[in-house]
Amino acid sequence: MNKLAVITGATMGIGRALCERFAKAGFDLVVNARGNDDLVNLKKSFEKEFSVKVFTKPTDVSDKQQVLDFAQFVNDLGRPIEVLINNAGYFVPGKIVNEEDGALESMINTNLYSAYHLTRGLVGNMIKKKRGLIINMCSIASFMAYPNGGSYSISKFAMLGFSKVLREELKPYGIRVTSVMPGATLTSSWEGTVLPEERFIRPEDVAETVYSAYAISERSVIEEIIIRPQLGDI
């Protein structure tokens, strides 16, 4: 039986690149996103191209109950989880002092609480097997402030803290935890930019780096990965 990877926010950008990299390595996938049509298309495409199984469930990860329902969906498969990637998130630029009311709550729900609740819902599966890898998709914004970072930066600082605590708690159970902090990556968040493509990280480069963190010996863990555009931050 193939190993199983659970990936949130799977149909676009880094999420889709992650799905492709793990499917290419022979992993079956359990994935979510808000749009059912995109999930259906991903399932058809990947099952045909990579001969793996793809299990999908439409999920708004900003909604706690939907996240818990997704965790139950995964657990009901009755299969050990090899990799959990908390990738779902979104970015709205702004300043704390004048950004739209509710921006903090919205980005905390999506970027942090979704990972918190899903990890709590699935980690028992991994503890039971005493193996596995959890990847938390953080950001350059997790450790440095920048103009118009606003509530996004707050949520990503918190995500890195969550990841660090999880790493300490799961050491005794053989579960590795890695925080990934990409800089500007060419995804829909940058739609409409006038900057050339070469100023951005490719989503495929992030996915390849994440897979490398999985592929090393279980005796070792890459705790933190920082990826920046070659020409520097934008």
Contact 6, 55 (CB under 8 A): no
Global pTM value:
0.96
Quick check: 125 pLDDT over 80? Answer: yes
Task: Choose the catalytic residue: 90, 113, 116, 152.
Answer: 152
Query: Is residue 32 in a domain?
Result: yes
3-state secondary structure of 182: strand
The per-residue pLDDT for range 193-233, each reduced to its tens digit, is: 778 888 899 999 999 999 999 999 999 999 999 999 999 98
Based on the structure, what is the number of domains in the chain? 1
Instruction: Give the C-alpha separation, 145 to 134, whole Å.
Output: 25
Position 187 scores a pLDDT of 78
Position 212 scores a pLDDT of 98
- Antiparallel, parallel or unpaired: β 28-33 and 54-58: parallel
Query: Is residue 234 in a domain?
Result: no
| CATH number, position 176 | 3.40.50.720
Lowest mean pLDDT, pick from 73-87, 111-125, 180-194: 180-194
Q: In what order do the strands lie in the sheet with 83-86?
A: 54-58, 28-33, 4-7, 83-86, 133-137, 176-182, 224-227
Query: Is residue 156 in a domain?
Result: yes
Structure-model confidence comparison of residues 194 and 87, the more confident one: 87
Instruction: Give the C-alpha separation, 178 to 136, whole Å.
Output: 6
Query: Is residue 28 in a domain?
Result: yes
Instruction: Give the C-alpha separation, 81 to 5, whole Å.
Output: 6
Q: Is 152 a catalytic residue?
A: yes
The neighbour count for residue 1, using CB atoms within 10 Å, is 7
Longest dimension (CA), the chain: 52
Quick check: 189 pLDDT over 80? Answer: no
Query: Is residue 98 in a domain?
Result: yes
Query: Is residue 232 in a domain?
Result: no
| Residue located via tokens 């990972």 | 115
Q: Is 132 exposed, middle or buried (0-12, 13-18, 19+ CB in 10 A)?
A: buried
Range of 40's domain? 4-227
The per-residue pLDDT for range 5-32, each reduced to its tens digit, is: 999 999 999 999 999 999 999 999 999 9
